[in-house]
């Protein structure tokens, strides 16, 4: 173990929440970083707490100016090399801390651009990048006016949201009025052109503006469709071959350049139309959720958590990034009206035949309470199937989606 004098000093915001962030915190320890944590969790999981050289508990973490002052006072001039946050609500907070502490990374202005879907698209529009036609709105009349200008169908979503929460499609004026009642609690929304195409992600680990790791994930079906139809098992495929989606990869590189992203994880969503056009959706200056980093790991037998830690601490990604598999993540939702899982159907025959291709089977066992799929991405469990051949991988994933049933009755 080297001395603290030469080890990277990393201030990690919310080092154990959401749950996937803990993997990144562990990865920092694996690459010999000194980790200082700041968060609103009073008691950290013991395996995370022991990795930290210090932890500042701030109950009102999202009072950003107060948090910046508290952290600066706590550090008392202690050197920090990086300020990192892998959770969407903390992107601006991390930037404000960088500004106060004189630490490199995305600036406050950049962070606001990443967080505000309208500002984000304005920057990309100016760079000549194809985005959906879009407007921001703070009143119902502004939403109506934007929809009339764009033309139906339109998508309405929070201006600073993450994932598909509070996101709806309206195909006519009647549906629009229904959506308006559903988003009354959202202070500002984006009204966008509905893009008819397949939906993908483009995810990267970068250092100093250079892409060190890249991955494309195909959503089947689109997350919005899944959110509106609770009986559907969402499938996400981390693709082995990126050549068929090269238009999206090129789009991603152009977006990162236009936004001036330097070092860290990015998560972009985009659409591929039937004509082959790649259309930007949105991008976050953070890692994806929904177990996608795990899917990336299974696609290349790589550890993207450690790769991210190396990138932010040393500017490198030392692992072989060759993809050898299509890794399909399948998320299950219980069927039935019961409050507890009673049985799992259809899994054993598939395991008997294809078990070697299934590195993860993690379903809620019988007797345990069912989960609220609206709050937990993995729903009532998830499975991973991987195979070098895409058609075979999709066939196996479809069998898991359609034949395996988690029952609560």
pLDDT over threshold 50, residue 209: yes
Check whether residue 276 and residue 339 sit in a common domain: yes
- Which residue reads 């007797």 in tokens? 367
Check whether residue 266 and residue 384 sit in a common domain: yes
Considering its fold, how many domains does the chain have in total?
3
**What percent of the chain clears pLDDT 70, i.e. is strictly above it?**
98
Cα 258 from Cα 249, distance rounded (Å): 14
Burial environment of residue 314 by CB neighbours within 10 A (0 to 12, 13 to 18, 19 or more): middle
- The mean pLDDT of the chain is 94
Check whether residue 315 and residue 253 sit in a common domain: yes
Phi, psi of 379 (to 5 degrees): 55, -130
pLDDT over threshold 90, residue 1: no
Check whether residue 146 and residue 66 sit in a common domain: no
347 inside domain: yes
Check whether residue 242 and residue 201 sit in a common domain: yes
pTM of the model: 0.89
Check whether residue 282 and residue 356 sit in a common domain: yes
301 inside domain: yes
CATH of the domain at 137: 3.30.1490.20
Phi, psi of 21 (to 5 degrees): -60, -30
Boundaries of domain holding 99: 9-105
Check whether residue 96 and residue 180 sit in a common domain: no
The residue from 166, 193, 220 where one domain ends is: 193
123 inside domain: no
Check whether residue 286 and residue 325 sit in a common domain: yes
111 inside domain: no
258 inside domain: yes
Local structure of 224: helix, strand or coil: helix
β-strand partners of 39: 57
Check whether residue 152 and residue 206 sit in a common domain: no
- pLDDT, tens digit (0-9, with 9 covering 90-100), for 143-197: 999 999 999 999 998 987 665 678 898 999 999 999 999 999 999 998 999 999 9
- pLDDT, tens digit (0-9, with 9 covering 90-100), for 73-99: 999 989 999 999 999 999 999 999 999
Check whether residue 327 and residue 259 sit in a common domain: yes
**In 58-194, beta strands by DSSP E:** 82-84, 134-137, 154-158, 168-170, 189-193
Check whether residue 304 and residue 232 sit in a common domain: yes
189 inside domain: yes
168 inside domain: yes
1 inside domain: no
CATH of the domain at 72: 3.40.50.20
Check whether residue 216 and residue 262 sit in a common domain: yes
């Amino acid at each position: 173990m080297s001395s603290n004098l030469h080890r990277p000093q990393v201030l990690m915001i919310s080092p154990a929440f959401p749950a996937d962030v803990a993997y990144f915190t562990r990865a920092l320890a694996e690459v010999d970083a000194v980790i200082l944590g700041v968060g609103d969790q009073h008691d950290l999981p013991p395996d995370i707490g022991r990795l930290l050289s210090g932890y500042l508990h701030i109950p009102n973490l999202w009072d950003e100016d107060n948090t910046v002052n508290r952290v600066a006072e706590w550090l008392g001039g202690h050197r920090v090399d990086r300020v990192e946050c892998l959770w969407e609500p903390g992107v601006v907070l991390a930037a404000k801390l960088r500004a106060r502490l004189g630490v490199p990374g995305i600036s406050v202005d950049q962070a606001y651009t990443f967080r505000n879907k309208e500002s984000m698209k304005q920057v990309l529009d100016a760079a000549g990048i194809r985005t959906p036609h879009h407007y921001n709105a703070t009143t119902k009349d502004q939403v109506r006016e934007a929809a009339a200008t764009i033309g139906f169908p339109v998508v309405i979503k929070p201006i600073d949201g993450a994932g598909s929460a509070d996101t709806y499609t309206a195909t006519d004026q009647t549906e629009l009025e229904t959506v308006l009642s559903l988003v009354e609690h959202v202070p500002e929304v984006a009204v966008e052109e509905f893009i008819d195409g397949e939906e993908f992600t483009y995810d990267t680990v970068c250092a100093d503006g250079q892409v060190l790791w890249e991955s494309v994930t195909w959503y089947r079906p689109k997350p919005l469709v899944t959110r509106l139809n609770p009986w559907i098992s969402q499938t996400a495929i981390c693709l082995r071959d990126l050549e068929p989606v090269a238009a999206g990869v090129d789009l991603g590189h152009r977006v990162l350049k236009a936004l001036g992203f330097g070092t860290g994880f990015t998560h972009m969503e985009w659409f591929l139309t039937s004509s082959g056009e790649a259309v930007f959706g949105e991008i976050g200056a953070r890692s994806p959720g929904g177990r996608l980093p795990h899917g990336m790991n299974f696609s290349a037998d790589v550890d993207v958590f450690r790769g991210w830690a190396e990138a932010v601490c040393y500017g490198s990604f030392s692992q072989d990034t060759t993809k050898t598999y299509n890794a399909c993540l399948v998320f299950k939702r219980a069927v039935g009206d019961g409050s507890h899982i009673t049985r799992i159907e259809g899994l054993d025959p598939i395991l008997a035949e294809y078990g070697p291709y299934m590195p993860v089977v993690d379903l809620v066992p019988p007797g345990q309470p069912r989960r609220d799929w609206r709050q937990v991405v993995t729903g009532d469990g998830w499975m991973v199937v991987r195979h070098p051949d895409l058609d075979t991988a999709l066939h196996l994933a479809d069998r898991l989606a359609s034949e395996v049933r988690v029952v609560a009755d």
